[in-house]
Structure 1
Amino acid sequence: MDGDSKFPKMLWDFEEELNGTLQEEQTEQLSFRKFFCSVTELRAKQRSLLYGDFLLLSNSSSSLVYLRVWDQNDRYLAAFNWGAEEETVLQMNNPGLPRHAAVALSTNSSALPEGSSVDLMNLRLGPGQAALIKLPYTG
C-alpha cells in the first residue's frame, strides 16, 4: 500500500533510500545490463561476432570460454565465470591464441578495464563475471 500517493512507488523508482545490500545488487544489475547492451552493439558492428565460427575452448560447470572467428577480421574470445562464490583462473594454452590480448568489454571494469592487456595463460574472472577479449587478426 502506498498510502496517500496516487501512484505507487516502484522498485526501480528509488531515490536515496537503498540500503547497502540493495545498492550492491543494483550496481551489479546495472553492470550486467551495460555489458550485454555493449555486447549487442559491438555484435552489430563486428563480423566475427555476427557471422563468425564458434570454437569452444573450455566448458565446465562453472565456466565457459569460446572464440568467434571470421575471415580476416579481429577475433573475439568470450569468457564467463558462472560460479557465484569463487574466482576462476582460465588457462588457455591453445597454440592459435596469443599470450596477451586486450579487453573489449567486461562486467567488472575495475578488475578488467576496457583496453587493458590480459594474460590469456592466467585470465582471472571473479564470481559471476564475464569478459569479451579482442584478438587482432595477424594474418
Structure 2
Amino acid sequence: MLLTLPGTPVFNYGDEIGLQDEVCELKVFIKRIPTDPGFFKSVSEKRSKERSLQHGEYLPLFNSTSAMAYVRSWDQNERYIIALNWHSEETVTLQLKHAEIPEHATVVFSTSDGKQVDEVLNLAQLEVKPEQGIMLKFPYTP
C-alpha cells in the first residue's frame, strides 16, 4: 500500500523481508506483507519505473473501515488500481465503477494465491480476500 500512495514511502528496517517488531505494534495489514523479499523488490521496482505510481493523481474509488480502492494515473501512462481488504475474516466484493475506469483490468501484483499475474478481472465484481491486496493496470484511453 505504501508504495502505491502519493508521497514518499517510509518503511522500518526489515519490512522488506517481513521482519516483525515485537516491541511496537504495527497494523495487522503491514505484517501481512508477503515475507518473500522478491515481492517487495518487485513492487519497489514497479514504483520506480511507472510515472503513475511516482507522480500520479490519486482518485478514490471505494473507502470503508475494512477496505479501500483507488486509481493512480499520470498523463498518458498506464493507470493502476489498488484494492485492499484489511478485514481479518471477510472477503469483500468491490463494485468499482467510475467514468475514468474501464470494465476490466489486468492483474500486476496480488498478495492472494487466487489471482494470477496478467489475469483480466471484472471491476464491477472485484473480490479481495481477507488481509489481501491487489494491483491492477489498464491503458490510457483518450
Name the structure 1 match of 2:14: none
How far apart are residue 93 of structure 1 and its match?
A: 1.4
How far apart are residue 74 of structure 1 and its match?
A: 0.3
Name the structure 1 match of 2:25: none
Q: Number of residue pairs matched?
A: 112
Answer yes or no: is 1:133 the counterpart of 2:121: no
How far apart are residue 28 of structure 1 and its match?
A: 7.1
- Structure 2 residue runs of 5 or longer lacking an equivalent are 1-17, 19-31
Determine the C-alpha separation between the residues in 1 that align with 2:41 and 2:124: 28
Determine the C-alpha separation between the residues in 1 that align with 2:40 and 2:82: 12
Report the structure number with the largest CA radius of gyration.
1
- Structure 1 residue runs of 5 or longer lacking an equivalent are 1-11, 13-26
How far apart are residue 34 of structure 1 and its match?
A: 4.4
Residues 45 and 119 (structure 1 numbering): CA distance in 2 closer, same or farther, change over 3 Å?
same
TM, length-normalised to structure 2 = 0.73
Q: Check the 8 A contact 2:86/2:131 in 1, yes or no.
A: yes
Per-residue deviation, residues 21-79 of structure 1 (Å, max 9, x unmatched): xxxxxx97425x54433221100000000010111111110001110010000000011
Per-residue deviation, residues 90-126 of structure 1 (Å, max 9, x unmatched): 1111122111110011112x31100000000000010
Taking only the aligned residue pairs, the percentage that are identical comes to: 40
Determine the C-alpha separation between the residues in 1 that align with 2:57 and 2:34: 30
Q: Tell me the secondary structure at the aligned position of residue 30 of structure 1.
A: coil
Aligned-residue Cα RMSD (Å) equals 2.0
**Residue identity in the other structure for 1:46:** E
TM, length-normalised to structure 1 = 0.74
